Amino acid sequence: MKERHLYPDGVFLCRDSGRRIFYKLVLHVLMGIFIPKPQNMKLSFLILLIFPIAVFSQTEKSQEKEKIKILIMQYSEARETQDSILLRKILTEDIDQLVSNGQWRIGIAEATAGMQTSTRSNPGTRSLEVEKIKFLSENVALVDCRYIITSPNGSKREMWSSFSVVKTGENWRISAIRNMNPSAGN
């Protein structure tokens, strides 16, 4: 005699029952509810399919945010150490930069030369603190940072920097930089 178990929706589960009943049981366990009608099963399957995708998407987005934060740290380090090799690795060829005095630096050669000149002529420790990352697409993000230059005498120059970053392959690179002096209260 076959062992039978009765479930609340009236389905008997035998050891040799078909896949349909097995999948229904799995749904019962995973969803924590009992689904007596077939039309509800379609909705439940849809929920089971979408939920992992949404969770995966959030996990992937947080991983991408971490990669972007590392990119900004690398940029800050490259500026501090005047590492033109690292700058060329993390900047796009067509980068454009608008600095706080209104000067434009177009292209990687002009941008890196300007960054090195600026670092030499404005001594101090630079720090960038990521405030917000907004994804415009899977491969494009806008990064807003607090940009602080602490001079050797201890005075601080507090600004904002916005970075447009693009993903090429597995790596994020900086495509545009905007430095701004904040208005009072910001």
Number of Cβ within 10 Å of residue 107's Cβ equals 15
The answer to whether the CB of 97 falls within 8 A of the CB of 63 is no
The answer to whether the CB of 165 falls within 8 A of the CB of 174 is yes
Of 72 and 18, more confident:
72
Residue 137 vs residues 6, 133, 163, 164, 165: alpha-carbon distances, Å: 50, 12, 15, 12, 11
Q: 3-state DSSP call for residue 158?
A: strand
Q: What pLDDT digit, counting tens, does each position of 61-118 carry?
A: 889 999 999 999 999 999 889 899 999 999 999 999 999 888 999 999 999 999 888 8
Fold of 84-180: Nuclear Transport Factor 2; Chain: A, (3.10.450)
Taking 70 as the threshold, does the pLDDT of residue 143 lie above it?
yes
pTM over 0.85: no
